[in-house]
Amino acid sequence: MARIGLVAHDDKKDDLVAWTERNRAALAVHTLCGTGTSGGRVAERTGLTVTRLLSGPLGGDAQLGAMIAEGRLDALVFFQDPLTAMPHDVDIKSLSRLATLYNILFAVNESTADAVLMALESAGSRLG
């Protein structure tokens, strides 16, 4: 069982929810946490248990970053909107930097999220 963080920019929340719906069975065996709105929408639509953190701009991104730094996340699925400027861009860059620094699985779109799930399935009991 892996510990997976879930977050999406506003214009990508529907994509994250749709991806989690399609992958509900695979995600159900993992521990999930997500920033406020993203985590809430995933839990509501899928019935999956998602530990909700603060909203991203209000500290949720920082909470996910702390979890990465403390070794409490194995993967981060962060659907990013490359076409919209984000007022909390520094938090977003920090998450990307921490995921890279601590060498965790990091997905930024549906294709890489699918690859992360495949990697977690192949890793099996080696995680957690």
Residue 73 lies in a domain: yes
Assess if residue 18 is contained within a domain: yes
Domain count for the chain, please give it: 1
Q: Are 42 and 17 in contact (CB under 8 A)?
A: yes
pLDDT tens per residue across span 83-99: 877 666 777 889 999 99
State the CB neighbour count (10 A cutoff) for residue 128: 11
Q: How far apart are CA 116 and CA 128, in angstroms?
A: 15
Residue 32 CB neighbours (<10 A) = 22
What is the CATH number for 32?
A: 3.40.50.1380
Confidence of residue 70 (pLDDT cuts 50, 70, 90): very high
Stated pTM of the model: 0.92
Please give the residue range of the domain that contains residue 30.
3-123
15 among known catalytic residues: no
**For the residues 57-70, what does the mean pLDDT come to?**
95
C-alpha to C-alpha distance for 26 and 30, rounded to whole angstroms: 8
- Find out whether 78 and 113 touch, Cβ atoms under 8 Å: no
Annotated catalytic residue, options 10, 11, 61, 74: 61
**Has residue 128 been placed in a domain?**
no
Classify residue 44: in a domain, yes or no: yes
Of 66, 127, 59, whose CA–CA distance to 102 is shortest?
Answer: 66
